[in-house]
Each structure stands twice: as structure tokens, then as C-alpha cells.
Chain A
């Protein structure tokens, strides 16, 4: 099992993902510079959080044109695993690998805080090790996390079980108060039709050690590792 972490100019969760996977979970993991295009040898590619190209124009709008993204498209088509976290989720939406868009938070402020996520689908390589309905404690840190899609797309996502994580209370209720950014249907993470491309706003790589407040992020990474 080998992970690749893509580094765009302005990416900053690259080192956190490297720490979580490499040091905490002892996996093989490399950085991939955005101008490189060779993804052979990787089982899972991560698009980490940050402000690629300063989020100028629109979050993820410039990064999707980086040379590596054509390779990510092919990688995804081959059925290999792609995980977009925060800015990575935004890039995947801009690249058309995932439907919908991440709008500015409805309160027009940045938010960094712990959130609770209900696992809605565990029949995926990303969540296979977690019970359905389990509540995970994982933090967010973003300005543009307000998930939006048209009604038809939303209905399709819901019908096909492609909403993977929903913001909820610590008890597991998907209430308005538990929604930190105005995302439709409290959506925190979705998956593509093939089930191999996951985008999520919360940062699992920040929830991998008890010392830092939660180990729930490991449930996601271990699911990926054990699915191989």
C-alpha cells in the first residue's frame, strides 16, 4: 500500500497528511509535486487542504489546471482511490471528478472548530471499517465549505448513498445548529458514482492522535489501508 500526497503551490495539509499516514500509521507515503504527472505505483492519491494558488479566482479553480490533474483523472478512471480533503475536495469539484460546488460559508467567516460527522455509507473503501451511523469527531478549517448542488444532483446523491458524511450533533442528529457552514443536507463529504473518489471538508489528518483531541480520523485511513 502506497499513498501519494499532491503538493500544489499554497497547499499546507501535505505535511499533516504525511505525518498521520507515515508516522502515526507507518505507511509508505510520498509527496507528488503538482508539475509531475507520474502516479504509477500509488494505490491512493490524496489532494490535501490549503490555499492552492491562494484560492485566487475561486477555491480550486486554478489548481485543477495543474499538470498532475490529468493524471489524477486517469488514476480515478482506473478505479484507484482518490481522497480530497478541504481544498482537495474543492479541486475535485472544480475538476468535475465530483458533482456540485463549495460556496463561501453562509456566515461569511472562516471556521476552524471541531465538528461531528455521521457516517452515512460504510460500503466504501474509505469507510469500510466504521459502523454506519457512527459519529466521528473531526475538525474543519475553511472559508468555502458550504456544499451546494442542484436539486436533481442532490436527489441522485441521496438515492445512491453517495453522501458519506453529514455534520451532526455529538449525539448524531443532523440539525441546523450542527451545520457549521450552511451546506445543503448538512453534507460534509460525498463520493463519486464509482465509489473511489471521496471529497470531504473536515480534516481527518488532524484527528489521528489522542494528544490532539481525537483518533477518529484513523478510522478512515485504516479503512483505506485494510481495503487493499
Chain B
């Protein structure tokens, strides 16, 4: 077959890759086969650029039952015969094109990844990035994405319990929509996605197949945006009701012995679902596209194989049980059809009736070339890392109130209740701590245990120092869980970057992963699963490198959890942790620096050994009941963390000047140094806290006490608590009202 550049472009393969295919296949591939290669060798399915780097992640641990890449999601043991299934995925590109449906189908995809394994989804989280809300387009994307997550997730009856949202110019054209799903299952009832047993049947269940979403994997997810190109047809439309039926029916099926494997249809549709499950099981498949029920006439085999129509599942059924399986789905008013069978020759065969239209070894399709481009430290990095505070005057006593109020009202720090009150976060009767805290807490029914969940990432830090930023993302996620009283167990991640074929983007990717891996090892949190979203750039401008970490932690006794709210008048407030760092490092990439000078610069840093001690100390203090509140000190720094604890508790704060005369006010109040937790304790328990911190070699600084209805930091800030609360509570809604 003569192959044109346009055709290769359509399937996102390079000429070199085409030559490789010809060489390995021993002949020219036909159009359908080329489509299969294009999809399965896409970055989205094949991880061409990221796979060698992802090997740096530690994924071992006693608690790990299923690690990265083995199945649709990772699995971690939580005892009592139970396990958690978790995964995070991006739907960035579809959401940039059509925010409501893009986000909605992102939720649908991650939920299928969970119940595909026979686990009931018990929680959703999301990590979102947009450009500033001062621009109308960004407001449209923001409200569309939130609406899509709510519209789809609420209909499924899965609580959306935690997440994060950040606004920065770098995401203006490329919003990030990362969705995380967590499910629970009995260990012995987990279902694999490995097609096996020649003669067993392939059944397609759920929605009919249409032309929607063609080239989603190879086009939308694996290339940068080009201006003016109509991509809307590559975005799918979700039907959450159908997904809910599929979910219940598949969980029922998972309890039977009729099923060999379950695999959801996501990116690259039937092509990747059938080929990947065959590859995992080490067998072949033979299917007939004429047996696939369609919602449109005249679809070609190519279109049927690559359609990304939503709400479909591939079920591998033990031969002889197909009628039972059909009846099960029928009860839920779901259609199911036998479309082919498992073979033992390792070939992926696609027929259209009698005619064979594709025949390729499965192993070739799932073995894309791997690229290890040269990473080059960008020349501009040194420039943005430079920060000289000499040319920036320190915060004056007259400015304290105003700056704190502005920070609290900034969309990055303000309460996100406008968002999460649109998500059902209580359904399933497990939510102990609702969104808005450092981490959400769910109880595990039938046990005394609980789990804590969080999603974190900071693109600014990673932009300024990808290695340190990667470490910080992992450390902060773990710290959030610790503040809730949970022992971090495992993480899933979503790596959002620009075009990896560029040397500086590849450098960011490599360094971020290296930094994350280092923190995973230091804090003993293995990586269970993940997703890579590359090519997040428009007109040559890449987003900030943004790895997002979704982490789960375990509470042996869920009643011994902790929240950020101050609990009682007269309690003493301390800062636990904190390294001695340069003022420039403390303000690097901070919200304060951005607010004051409009600059994103400096070089953030973290001491992972200190981090480890701080987390151990905080966890022990919560478990032994020494402290009554704990709040991670992050965006906005110490003053913001104190204000948030005061607002959450409805109690004021008085703080003395705890920093030295020679030190800058702004660094003390708004610096974002790592490994710091604001805790409060009763005066009686304070000596125990001091003793514990001393034994763990963790710095402990008394800041003040919980008192009255004012928020006071001697000499710099004096505001009524109600005014602080108003600024923080209403900030996001105010920003949405801007009329540009």
C-alpha cells in the first residue's frame, strides 16, 4: 500500500515508525492495520516516551497487590480481606475542546477502570487547572468542567470527596482535568483483564458503537493543538445512566464464575481493549466487526475498531455460559453480543463477515518503539530560578491586613465550596470528613478502619525546579494524609507535560519523575498506577510541568482522625517542622510573590529526611491524642494556614512575633517552605507535644493561642474573624463574577 504523509499524520505515526512496522510485519500493513498500530503505538496507549522513565518509580511493598501497568488500575491491601483499587487519568484535551462532555467522559472512563476489576467505586477525586478566571473563556471552561464532573458523577452515586483546583496563565489554552477513582473489593473476587482460554468468547456489552471519538487516542491525546482544526468530533458524549447500569451489572457478573476477564473500552476503543487483554493473557483474538451493534449505518471496520463510543465493556466469557451472561445483562436492560473468541496463536484477527480485514501479531501491536530523547536542562531555568529579594521591599505593618485578605480571597486559596457543593460527596454513607480539608476521610463499613484521600500537585514548583517540585508533590500529598491521622499507603499519579519530543520538556518530565521517585522511596509510598498526558501545549507554549499525585492512607481506627479546625478557646498553637532555609527559597513560586510582584521565580526546596520525621511526629501526636488540630502549611504560607484553621473552627487566634528581628515579615507570614504543619493542643498536653517533637528531632515553634473572635499577629495583622471568613468563603464566587 502506498502510504502518504497525510495518512501517517491521520494515525499519528512517523515515517520511521512506519518503516519499522513494515520491517517487523514483513509486509506493508493495510489501512485498518495501520489504524491499529497508530492507536496502540500512540503516546496515550503505548507510553513511547514515558515508559523508560516510569521504571524509576518504586512500586514494591508488602501492601501492593497489583502494580503499575499490570491491569487497568493498581491494587493495595488494607487488611480484613479487603483491598482498594485506584487509578488517576487525564481528560485534558477533550475538556479543552468541549468542557462539559470532556470532563464527564473523563469521570466515566476512570469509573470503568475501577469496576472493570470487580471493585465497587467508593470515591472520586479530581485535580483541575485553568487559566485565570478574569478571562471569559477560562470561566466557561471552569464552569463547564465542574458541571460535567457533577452531571456524570452525581448520576452514578459515587461520592466526589476531594481534589484541588489551581489557576494560572500557563493553563489558559490547556486546562488540566485529572480524575481519580478509588474502589473497594474482596481480595479473592478481583477480576483480571487477561483474555485466556482459547475458545472462550468475547462479548461486547453496553452502548452501541458510533463514529464518535475516532482518533481520540492518537489525535487528541497524543498531539499538540493546532489552531483552527475542528476536533469536536473526537470528543465523546457521555451517558451516565447507562454507565450506572453497566457498573451494577458488571459487579454482579464479577461475583459469578462465568467471567474470565473484564476490560473497559476507553482510548482506541475495541482495538486497544481486545489487543491489550489478549497481550496480558498471552493469547490471540478473532473478532467480527459485523457482530458489533452500531448506532450509525455504513461504518467501516476501521471506524468500528477505533470508535471511542462511551459506556462499553468487553467481557471474556467461559464458553457455555454466554446465555447466563446475556440474561444477567438483560435484567439490567443492557444489550450484549458475542463478537468473537479467544485464540491460541497470538494473532489479532479482525473480520468483516467472511472477509479477513486485519491480521497482526498481538505482540507487535503492544510493543511500540521506546524513545529516550536527550534531556537538556533548559537555558531559561537559571533565569527563572534567580530571585533577589533585595529589590522587593518587605511587608510593612500597614499592608498586613490587606495582603492576607487578598491572599485568602484569591481563587487559588479561597474556599472551593462553590465547586464541591455541586458534587454529591456523601452518597454511600461513608464520608466522615467532607471536601475542604487537607484530606477526605471515608470509613470502611464492617471494620473500624478508615481511609484518607488526597490529590496534590504544584506546577509552579515543578516549573522552577522539576526535581524538587516532583519530590514536593509526593511529600505534600503524604503530609495531607498525615494531617488527617492516616498512614500513607500508596499513590497513583497523572503526569501532565508538554511535547516530550522537545529536549527541555523531556528534561522536565525526567527530572519530575526522578524527584517523585526519590520522595516515594524516602516516605515509603509505592506507586500503584498512573497515566501520562503529554503534548499539553498550544502554539508552541507548553503548560507548567504538572505531575499530580493521588494518594490513599489508612486509619486503623477511623474515630482517631484529625481535622484542621481549631477546637477550643485557650488551646496553644504550634508550628511543627520547618527547615532553616534561605528567604529566597521560602518565597520561591509562592502565591504571595505572584500577588506582590506578578513573578513566578525562585527555587523551592525540600529536605525529605526532615519531612519524614515531621510526618512521623504528627501522626504519633494524633494517634496518642496530644493534638486537637493539624493543618498542612502550603499555598499562602503560615498566615494563611492559621487563618484557615481559625475560620474552620469559628475561633479566633492571637499570635506573638515568633520570628527574629532580622528576618523578613513576608517570609515569616507567607513563605511556603515545606515540611510544616500547624497544630493546636490543650495547654495540659503541650509538654507532651514538646517531648514528642524533641524525641523525633523535629523543630517545634510556639506561635500563639486560640482566642476570641479576632485574628491577630502582633504588629502586622488584626482583623475580625468574620471578615477573614467572608474573604475566604466568597473569593471564588467573586472571581467568577468578573465581567471581562
- A residues with a Cβ closer than 8 A to B are 9-10, 12-13, 15-16, 19-20, 23, 49-51, 53-56, 109-113, 139, 141, 143, 203, 205-206, 208-209, 211-212
* 22 A/B residue pairs, CB under 8 Å, sorted by A: A10-B155, A10-B241, A12-B156, A12-B157, A12-B244, A15-B428, A16-B427, A16-B428, A20-B429, A23-B445, A51-B157, A54-B240, A109-B421, A110-B421, A110-B424, A112-B421, A112-B424, A112-B425, A112-B426, A113-B421, A212-B429, A212-B431
Looking at the assembled complex, report how far the CB atom of A65 sits from the nearest CB atom of chain B, in whole angstroms. 14
B659 within 8 Å of A (CB atoms): no
Residue among A10, A49, A139 with most chain B CB within 10 A: A10
User: B332 near A109 (CB under 8 angstroms)?
Assistant: no
Chain B: which residue is nearest A50 at the CB level? B157
Looking at the assembled complex, report how far the CB atom of A215 sits from the nearest CB atom of chain B, in whole angstroms. 13
B239 within 8 Å of A (CB atoms): yes
Looking at the assembled complex, report how far the CB atom of B524 sits from the nearest CB atom of chain A, in whole angstroms. 29
- B residues with a Cβ closer than 8 A to A are 150-151, 154-157, 239-242, 244-245, 332-333, 420-432, 443, 445, 558-559
Given A51-B244, A109-B422, A112-B422, A141 and B427 contact (CB-CB distance below 8 Å): yes
Looking at the assembled complex, report how far the CB atom of A127 sits from the nearest CB atom of chain B, in whole angstroms. 22
Looking at the assembled complex, report how far the CB atom of A94 sits from the nearest CB atom of chain B, in whole angstroms. 17
Question: A211: which of B150, B244, B443 is its contact (CB, 8 Å)?
Answer: B443
**CA–CA, A222 and B237, complex, Å:** 44
User: B240 near A16 (CB under 8 angstroms)?
Assistant: no
Residues of chain A within 8 A (CB-CB) of B154 are 51, 110, 112, 141, 143
Residues of chain B within 8 A (CB-CB) of A111 are 421-422
User: B429 near A112 (CB under 8 angstroms)?
Assistant: no
User: B244 near A141 (CB under 8 angstroms)?
Assistant: no
Looking at the assembled complex, report how far the CB atom of B164 sits from the nearest CB atom of chain A, in whole angstroms. 18
Looking at the assembled complex, report how far the CB atom of A205 sits from the nearest CB atom of chain B, in whole angstroms. 7
> Which 5 A-B residue pairs are closest in the complex by CB-CB distance?
A12-B157, A54-B241, A51-B155, A16-B429, A141-B424
**CA–CA, A36 and B449, complex, Å:** 37
Question: A13: which of B241, B244, B333, B427 is its contact (CB, 8 Å)?
Answer: B427
Chain B: which residue is nearest A113 at the CB level? B421
Chain B: which residue is nearest A7 at the CB level? B248
User: B429 near A10 (CB under 8 angstroms)?
Assistant: no
Residues of chain B within 8 A (CB-CB) of A23 are 445
User: B428 near A211 (CB under 8 angstroms)?
Assistant: no
User: A110 near B422 (CB under 8 angstroms)?
Assistant: yes
Residues of chain B within 8 A (CB-CB) of A53 are 241
User: A12 near B427 (CB under 8 angstroms)?
Assistant: yes
Looking at the assembled complex, report how far the CB atom of B447 sits from the nearest CB atom of chain A, in whole angstroms. 13
Residues of chain A within 8 A (CB-CB) of B431 are 212
Residues of chain A within 8 A (CB-CB) of B559 are 211
User: A9 near B332 (CB under 8 angstroms)?
Assistant: yes
User: A206 near B239 (CB under 8 angstroms)?
Assistant: no
Looking at the assembled complex, report how far the CB atom of A113 sits from the nearest CB atom of chain B, in whole angstroms. 5
**CA–CA, A9 and B331, complex, Å:** 10
Residue among A23, A110, A112 with most chain B CB within 10 A: A112
**CA–CA, A53 and B242, complex, Å:** 9
Chain B: which residue is nearest A33 at the CB level? B331
**CA–CA, A188 and B443, complex, Å:** 29
Residues of chain A within 8 A (CB-CB) of B332 are 9
Question: B426: which of A51, A55, A110, A206 is its contact (CB, 8 Å)?
Answer: A206
**CA–CA, A161 and B93, complex, Å:** 54
**CA–CA, A138 and B612, complex, Å:** 40
User: B155 near A54 (CB under 8 angstroms)?
Assistant: yes
Looking at the assembled complex, report how far the CB atom of A2 sits from the nearest CB atom of chain B, in whole angstroms. 21
Looking at the assembled complex, report how far the CB atom of B294 sits from the nearest CB atom of chain A, in whole angstroms. 22
Chain A: which residue is nearest B423 at the CB level? A112
Given A51-B155, A111-B422, A212-B429, A9 and B333 contact (CB-CB distance below 8 Å): yes
Chain A: which residue is nearest B432 at the CB level? A211
* Known A49-B427, A51-B244; further 5 A-B contacts with Cβ < 8 A: A10-B155, A13-B157, A112-B422, A139-B426, A143-B154
**CA–CA, A206 and B428, complex, Å:** 8
**CA–CA, A113 and B421, complex, Å:** 6
Chain A: which residue is nearest B558 at the CB level? A211
Looking at the assembled complex, report how far the CB atom of A139 sits from the nearest CB atom of chain B, in whole angstroms. 6
Looking at the assembled complex, report how far the CB atom of B64 sits from the nearest CB atom of chain A, in whole angstroms. 29
Looking at the assembled complex, report how far the CB atom of B103 sits from the nearest CB atom of chain A, in whole angstroms. 14
Residues of chain A within 8 A (CB-CB) of B421 are 109-113
**CA–CA, A50 and B244, complex, Å:** 11
Given A19-B445, A211-B558, A51 and B240 contact (CB-CB distance below 8 Å): yes
User: B432 near A212 (CB under 8 angstroms)?
Assistant: yes
**CA–CA, A16 and B445, complex, Å:** 11
**CA–CA, A113 and B150, complex, Å:** 14
Chain B: which residue is nearest A209 at the CB level? B429
**CA–CA, A199 and B626, complex, Å:** 46
Residues of chain A within 8 A (CB-CB) of B443 are 211-212
**CA–CA, A13 and B154, complex, Å:** 12
Looking at the assembled complex, report how far the CB atom of A81 sits from the nearest CB atom of chain B, in whole angstroms. 22
**CA–CA, A53 and B240, complex, Å:** 10
Residues of chain A within 8 A (CB-CB) of B333 are 9
Residue among A12, A55, A206, A208 with most chain B CB within 10 A: A12
Residues of chain B within 8 A (CB-CB) of A12 are 156-157, 244, 427
Residues of chain A within 8 A (CB-CB) of B558 are 211
Looking at the assembled complex, report how far the CB atom of B10 sits from the nearest CB atom of chain A, in whole angstroms. 35
Looking at the assembled complex, report how far the CB atom of A112 sits from the nearest CB atom of chain B, in whole angstroms. 5
Residue among A205, A209, A212 with most chain B CB within 10 A: A212
**CA–CA, A53 and B431, complex, Å:** 26
Chain B: which residue is nearest A23 at the CB level? B445
Chain A: which residue is nearest B430 at the CB level? A212
Residues of chain A within 8 A (CB-CB) of B245 are 9-10
**CA–CA, A13 and B431, complex, Å:** 14
Question: A205: which of B151, B429, B445 is its contact (CB, 8 Å)?
Answer: B429
Residues of chain B within 8 A (CB-CB) of A56 are 241
Looking at the assembled complex, report how far the CB atom of B600 sits from the nearest CB atom of chain A, in whole angstroms. 33
